[in-house]
Amino acid sequence: MLAAAETYRGFRGYFDLAADVVRHLRLLRVGPVRDVLLRQIQLVGVATLSAMAVRAAGVGTVIIAYTTYVLAADPAFAVRILVWAVLREIGPLFAVIMLIVRSGTAIAAELALMRERGELDGLRMMGISARDYIAVPTVVAMALSNLVVTFYFQLLAVGGGILISALLMDVSIAELGEHFFALASLWDILYTVIKSLGFGILVGLVVCMHGLGLAGGEPRLPDAVSRSVMQSIVAVLGFNAVFAYLVFGVLLFGIVRAP
């Protein structure tokens, strides 16, 4: 019973924070809040993009090489798997996990350090809400940055995968590119946009909840960071499973299908 009550309070806290962020989006037009937004976007985007290039190209190459050599598939089928994996599943998940590991931890640590130093109390004494000044721009920055990071990863994974695979296999770049553009659709792009924004919003909410101590208990910096990482990953995987089930009627990459 106590565990159920704690779980309910946790979900209620996230919903309340999300509602506050939506209600106060207009504050992004205020100079200091906009400055926090731009600083967070720079911190999140630069830190994540700098570590993405080689990994993204490697993922695309491995997918095409595996389906071609191990599964003995033709190039058209290999590109089909590339579209499904990079655009719909692995791409958005890989990008948001990189975001959590490289940027989510840094922001959670920064917010927890501000709390421990008493900077949040200073804001309250000046009549400034930490939710308005910090949570709103942080959640928006996470959502926008994750969208950019995801498209960046997909571009490098698809482009690098096709280029390197064409060099390693007896297939032309034009042939692989033709197969890709024939299979990719606007729906795949829309699916990526919705999923990436959803992932970023969830990570932003979790980071703010634990970094600012809104989840209760006033956790110290190491606890705030570890809880942010673990709960962000759980939230992202849960959202991914539910979204895939609602859109495609599948769970666990097609192992479970809707009746």
Predicted confidence (pLDDT) at residue 45 exceeds the cutoff of 80: no
Predicted confidence (pLDDT) at residue 217 exceeds the cutoff of 70: no
Alpha carbon distance 39, 37 (integer Å): 5
The pLDDT value given to residue 216: 62
C-beta separation of 92 from 195 below 8 A: yes
Alpha carbon distance 122, 119 (integer Å): 5
State the average pLDDT over residues 12-41: 84
C-beta separation of 229 from 100 below 8 A: yes
Residues in CB range of 197: below 8 A, 6 or more apart = 143, 146, 147
The pLDDT value given to residue 256: 47
Average pLDDT, the chain: 79
CB atoms within 10 A of CB 175: 14
Predicted confidence (pLDDT) at residue 1 exceeds the cutoff of 60: no
Alpha carbon distance 170, 166 (integer Å): 7
Kindly list the domain boundaries of the chain, sorted by start residue: 2-257
Instruction: Band the pLDDT of 254: cuts 50, 70, 90.
Output: very low
More confident residue, 100 or 81: 100
Q: What is the pTM of this model?
A: 0.85
User: Which H or E run contains 250?
Assistant: strand 250-251
Longest dimension (CA), the chain: 68
Instruction: Band the pLDDT of 2: cuts 50, 70, 90.
Output: low
The pLDDT value given to residue 258: 46
C-beta separation of 154 from 192 below 8 A: yes
Q: Which of 3-7, 14-18, 110-114, 178-182 has the lowest mean pLDDT?
A: 3-7
Which tens digit of pLDDT belongs to each residue from 137-174?
A: 999 999 998 998 898 888 888 887 777 777 766 777 78
**CA triplet 28, 31, 36: central angle to 5 degrees?**
65
State the average pLDDT over residues 219-240: 86
Structure tokens at 5: 């009550």
Instruction: Band the pLDDT of 197: cuts 50, 70, 90.
Output: very high
Which tens digit of pLDDT belongs to each residue from 49-66?
A: 766 777 777 777 777 777
Alpha carbon distance 202, 197 (integer Å): 9
Residues in CB range of 83: below 8 A, 6 or more apart = 180, 183, 184, 188
Q: Which amino acid is at 113?
A: L
State the average pLDDT over residues 244-250: 74
Q: What one-character DSSP code corresponds to residue 188? A: H
